[in-house]
Copies of this chain bind each other. A is one copy, B any other.
Amino acid sequence: MTSLTPTPADKFTFGLWTVGNPGRDPFGDAVRERLDPVTILRRLAPLGVYGVNLHDNDLVPAGATAAERDRIVAAFAQGLAETGLVVPMATTNLFTDPVFRDGAFTSHDADVRAYALQKTMRAIDLGAELGARTYVFWGGREGAEVDAAKDPRDGIQRMRDALNFLCEYVRDRGYPLRFALEAKPNEPRGDCYFATTAAYLAFIETLDHPGMVGVNPEVAHEQMIGLNVYHVVAQAIEAGKLFHIDLNDQKFARFDQDLRFGSESIKMMFFLVKLLEESGYDGPRHFDAHTYRTEDADGVWDFARGCMRTYLILKDKARRFREDREIQALISEIRAADAGPAPRYSRGAAAALAARPFDRGALAARPLPYERLDQLLIDLLLGVR
């Protein structure tokens, strides 16, 4: 059996904002102290974690002077050196400050857009300084409740302008960074622009430097509207665009919950882990989740351990699935008629196909024992085979 003890080779990462989350919600006050970033490093390292990710303001408070900023960053860099943790990903907080209440890059206000660019340039500098290789964009306020004065096409164009500018900035600086765009359907905005990962996949092709831009799907964001997140991530991988991933969990069709990875959607998370492990994805497995608000300070580390443990359990289930002869034989049976190359067009091929006889009744009668297969998977997931 695969070990269930995490090591840095597993590339598990947590955001400073995740384990550091104090548990404030729309109806209640904070229940835990906000944790110092260096403390987070020291608590995470012994758990086998690979690294941490951060928004600029997770580390450097808004309004810090340059000297404060440098002092904080130095202390944090020392913490990284001490613990051996890395910062593979960084991002910008473009949502907390009231200045962004109607959008950052897509605001109607050219000054707000400029400020958002400036803040992001500085945050990119910070990320690069800390060694990040991926820079994530989540447009928390890019959207609308009222569509009467906002044309979503303006939103798209403004986002394009901002990303083109920032791509140039990164190239000009020579930073070894790639961008990863993160979608969300709604919350905090009534409707967010770029509601799904697929919306970003389409958008990326319209950028000046599409090669350096990919996506950062978040499990819960797709589940909020009931999408099959395994299918979503598969499309991103097929397009060569899975640059990063945010792992968590969610009960469907409700507010953004950011639950411990694998705590709800066992079967779907199995397929997702299997896909990540078998597709060659070698980026971080980042947990963008929160500890239950009922938990105290100690519970945060139970939460972090749980995310990693369930990932490793599911990874081991994926291995067993591959090695299970009955399951693999059944899959071969189901795919038995999947012979032959892809159709290549020629006039002759078209004519031959047009003339080919088909016995629809016979085709419709070929067995597809999915009930049996799915039950074998349930058995495997539940540990009874």
Q: Chain B residues near A382 (CB, 8 Å)?
A: 266, 310, 313-314, 317, 381-383
Q: How far is the CB of A315 from chain B (nearest CB, A)?
A: 12
Q: Is the pair B375, A255 in contact by a Cβ cutoff of 8 Å?
A: no
Q: List 22 A-B contacts (CB under 8 A).
A: A26-B188, A28-B95, A28-B97, A28-B98, A28-B101, A101-B368, A102-B294, A109-B338, A109-B366, A117-B343, A148-B376, A151-B234, A156-B238, A185-B225, A195-B198, A198-B198, A205-B205, A266-B266, A292-B371, A294-B370, A296-B365, A383-B384
Q: Is the pair A345, B168 in contact by a Cβ cutoff of 8 Å?
A: yes
Q: How far is the CB of A368 from chain B (nearest CB, A)?
A: 4
In Å, the complex CA distance between A334 and B356 comes to: 54
Q: Is the pair B255, A186 in contact by a Cβ cutoff of 8 Å?
A: yes
Interface residues of A in 80-132 (CB under 8 A from B): 95-102, 108-115, 117-118, 121-122
In Å, the complex CA distance between A339 and B112 comes to: 11
Q: Tell me if A306 is interfacial: C-beta within 8 Å of chain B.
A: yes
Q: Chain B residues near A117 (CB, 8 Å)?
A: 343, 353
In Å, the complex CA distance between A241 and B12 comes to: 39
Q: Is the pair B364, A97 in contact by a Cβ cutoff of 8 Å?
A: yes
Q: How far is the CB of A220 from chain B (nearest CB, A)?
A: 12
Q: Is the pair B230, A152 in contact by a Cβ cutoff of 8 Å?
A: yes
Q: Chain B residues near A188 (CB, 8 Å)?
A: 25-28, 293
Q: Tell me if A340 is interfacial: C-beta within 8 Å of chain B.
A: yes
Q: Chain B residues near A323 (CB, 8 Å)?
A: none
Q: How far is the CB of A369 from chain B (nearest CB, A)?
A: 6
Q: Is the pair A101, B31 in contact by a Cβ cutoff of 8 Å?
A: yes
Q: Chain B residues near A344 (CB, 8 Å)?
A: 165
Q: Is the pair A338, B108 in contact by a Cβ cutoff of 8 Å?
A: yes
Q: Is the pair A345, B172 in contact by a Cβ cutoff of 8 Å?
A: yes
Interface residues of A in 190-247 (CB under 8 A from B): 190-191, 193, 195-196, 198-199, 201-203, 205-206, 224-228, 230-232, 234-235, 237-239
Q: Tell me if A264 is interfacial: C-beta within 8 Å of chain B.
A: yes
Contact with B along A342-369 (1 / 0, CB 8 A): 1111010010011010101001111111
Q: Chain B residues near A264 (CB, 8 Å)?
A: 267
Interface residues of A in 247-289 (CB under 8 A from B): 251-257, 259-260, 262-264, 266-267, 271
Q: Is the pair A345, B169 in contact by a Cβ cutoff of 8 Å?
A: yes
Q: Tell me if A146 is interfacial: C-beta within 8 Å of chain B.
A: yes
| Pairs of residues from A and B, 7 with the lowest C-beta to C-beta distance, nearest first | A383-B383, A252-B252, A168-B345, A201-B202, A253-B253, A255-B255, A152-B234
In Å, the complex CA distance between A367 and B190 comes to: 19
Q: Chain B residues near A226 (CB, 8 Å)?
A: 185-186, 225, 251-254
Q: Is the pair A251, B191 in contact by a Cβ cutoff of 8 Å?
A: yes
Q: Is the pair A29, B111 in contact by a Cβ cutoff of 8 Å?
A: no
Q: Is the pair B360, A99 in contact by a Cβ cutoff of 8 Å?
A: yes
Q: Is the pair A234, B377 in contact by a Cβ cutoff of 8 Å?
A: no
Q: Chain B residues near A153 (CB, 8 Å)?
A: 234-235, 237-238
Q: Is the pair A255, B253 in contact by a Cβ cutoff of 8 Å?
A: no
Q: How far is the CB of A104 from chain B (nearest CB, A)?
A: 11
A165 partner, pick from B302, B345, B383, beta carbons under 8 A: B345
Q: Chain B residues near A108 (CB, 8 Å)?
A: 334-335, 337-338, 368
Q: Tell me if A373 is interfacial: C-beta within 8 Å of chain B.
A: yes
Q: How far is the CB of A110 from chain B (nearest CB, A)?
A: 5
